[in-house]
Amino acid sequence: MNIGVVGLGYVGIVSLACLSKMGFKVTGIDTDQKKVDALKNGCSYIYEPGVDKLIKDGLKKGKIFSSNKINSSINDLDLFLVCVGTPSKADGSHDYSYIENVTKEIAICSKKLKHKKVTVAFRSTFQPGTIDKVILPILDKYKATNVDVVYNPEFLRESTAIDDFFMPSRIVVGTSDGSASKHMNQIYKSFDAKIFLTKFKEAEITKLIDNTWHALKVSFMNEIARISETNEINISKIYDIFVADNILNISKHYLRPGGPFGGSCLPKDLRALESLSKLHKLNNPIIENISLSNANHQEYLVNKILHRTGKNKKILFCGVTFKRNTDDLRESPWLSIANVLKEQNLDFDIYDSYYSSNKTNKEKNTFLGPISENIVSINDVRNSKYDLYINANNSIVDLGLKSTNTVLDLNRLD
């Protein structure tokens, strides 16, 4: 089976690399020429551990191709995996303009299909109803009768994406009538995970529910941490006791008291569910207040830092990406907190596992904004003395600090 992966961002490039390892021929398609060129040259434009090696192996074995157009290869492909972005609009709902463009392009190209159909599986995160209201009308408009639509949400997490791809908690495949898809079966037949077959809407809401639940777990435990810390209760103990109950309290993931949630998915998809709830004039105070709780937590951490710092202290702030081992800065709470330190005119350097070793990558550094001038290399850190080390995204583990160093660990409240 030949697969086209549309969108070579965090989800697309990982899918492409993993599918090539499984032996499929995969064409990576992106309108951003930088991403296409990086793939041609045997690497990924975005950073995700392990992906470059899979790409190099795939290219060597002749499994990976690249293009900046969907058009060029449609007759060679059996399946498209669409992994383009669905960022937030001002009202919190998802912006489907990238999805609309891709659907239109595929619809137009599908006219060229000779005696065959193509399956188009959308892996981007959608609000329920998107396939019915956005995608199918475009396919109808262009009379794209050779296209089978599938919705297959992706559950991977950045920084552990390859493992998550091959070992998903479960697989969800949505089709118009809830029946199986021949092409998705070919991908998933060797996976050790339960496959749920649903209609489109059930598959679409699955991922929004997951991300909202994770955001709720993070916020819930951070509220418990704030109450515990203020009452001199050892939150580490509370955490250990709470997560030991894996019958009623379920998994311990996303429950460690520490940083606010952030990244490209949780805040965006929480807003999307909130906006859906508001659209239908539902009164859902739990969901509507998760973001507020998260913002309160960020403010709490900033106050904690300001309490420990002052004009005469030299600080090393460790980590600005939303988690360690990614270059992704989208909605990173650590980046926001670093910007507050800047506004407060504190004397601080930043060490970040990714950005400190890629200091010369001017293009990527522009995403950091004004704090890019505070980024220092690991050698600079070793040649400096700091009064306080602040652990934000765990980049601090690279530094091998001594027990005599003073650390404020925002990533673990205990």
Ligand X SMILES: NC(=O)c1ccc[n+]([C@@H]2O[C@H](COP(=O)([O-])OP(=O)(O)OC[C@H]3O[C@@H](n4cnc5c(N)ncnc54)[C@H](O)[C@@H]3O)[C@@H](O)[C@H]2O)c1
Per the structure block, which two tokens stand in for 86?
A: 């669905």
Nearer to ligand X, 7 or 333 (CB): 7
Phi, psi angle pair for 27, to nearest 5°: -110, 125
Least distance CB 211 / ligand X (angstroms): 8
Per the structure block, which two tokens stand in for 35?
A: 């991403």
Contact 350, 368 (CB under 8 A): no
What phi-psi label fits residue 192: left (phi over 0), alpha (psi between -120 and 50 degrees) or beta?
beta
Q: What is the DSSP string of 15-70?
A: HHHHHHHTT-EEEEE-S-HHHHHHHHTTS-SS--TTHHHHHHHHHHTT-EEEES-S
Q: How far apart are CA 379 and CA 381, in angstroms?
A: 5
Q: How far apart are CA 227 and CA 192, in angstroms?
A: 41
Per CB under 6 A, which of residues 243..282 are in contact with ligand X?
A: 264-265
Segment lying near ligand X (by CB under 6 A), choices 6-14, 191-199, 354-362, 380-388? 6-14
Segment lying near ligand X (by CB under 6 A), choices 2-10, 49-57, 139-147, 297-305? 2-10
Nearer to ligand X, 31 or 405 (CB): 31
Contact 280, 290 (CB under 8 A): no
Q: How far apart are CA 154 and CA 123, in angstroms?
A: 6
Site string for ligand X, 150-189 (x = CB under 6 A): ----x-x-x-------------------------------
Q: Is 175 helix (H, G, I), strand (E, B) or coil?
A: strand
Per the structure block, which two tokens stand in for 337?
A: 């907190």
Segment lying near ligand X (by CB under 6 A), choices 10-18, 292-300, 311-319, 360-368? 10-18
Least distance CB 407 / ligand X (angstroms): 29
Least distance CB 104 / ligand X (angstroms): 9
Site string for ligand X, 75-114 (x = CB under 6 A): --------xxxx-----------x--xx------------
Nearer to ligand X, 270 or 337 (CB): 270
Question: Judging by DSSP bridges, how do beta strands 407-409 and 147-151 pair with one another?
Answer: unpaired
Report if residue 325 touches ligand X, rule: CB under 6 A. no
Q: How far apart are CA 16 and CA 57, in angstroms?
A: 12
Report if residue 354 touches ligand X, rule: CB under 6 A. no
Report if residue 30 touches ligand X, rule: CB under 6 A. yes
Least distance CB 269 / ligand X (angstroms): 6
Contact 153, 206 (CB under 8 A): yes
The footprint of ligand X on this chain (CB under 6 A) covers a number of residues equal to 26
Residue type, 189: K
Site string for ligand X, 223-242 (x = CB under 6 A): --------------------
Nearer to ligand X, 269 or 352 (CB): 269
Opening angle at CA 285, ends 281 and 289, nearest 5: 115
Nearer to ligand X, 210 or 380 (CB): 210
Report if residue 222 touches ligand X, rule: CB under 6 A. no
Nearer to ligand X, 109 or 381 (CB): 109
End-to-end CA distance of the chain: 51
Residue nearest to ligand X (CB): 9
| Cα Rg of the chain (Å, integer) | 23
Q: Which of 18, 83, 109, 265 is catalytic?
A: 265
Nearer to ligand X, 32 or 373 (CB): 32
Nearer to ligand X, 34 or 60 (CB): 34
Report if residue 64 touches ligand X, rule: CB under 6 A. no
Alpha-carbon torsion angle 287, 288, 290, 293, nearest 10: -150
Q: How far apart are CA 268 and CA 125, in angstroms?
A: 10
**Judged by CB under 6 A, which of 125, 175, 356, 391 binds ligand X?**
125
Residue type, 187: I
**Judged by CB under 6 A, which of 5, 11, 38, 55 binds ligand X?**
11
Q: Is 318 a catalytic residue?
A: no
Residues at the site binding ligand X, with contacts judged by CB under 6 A: 6-12, 29-32, 35, 83-86, 98, 101-102, 124-125, 154, 156, 158, 264-265
Catalytic positions: 265
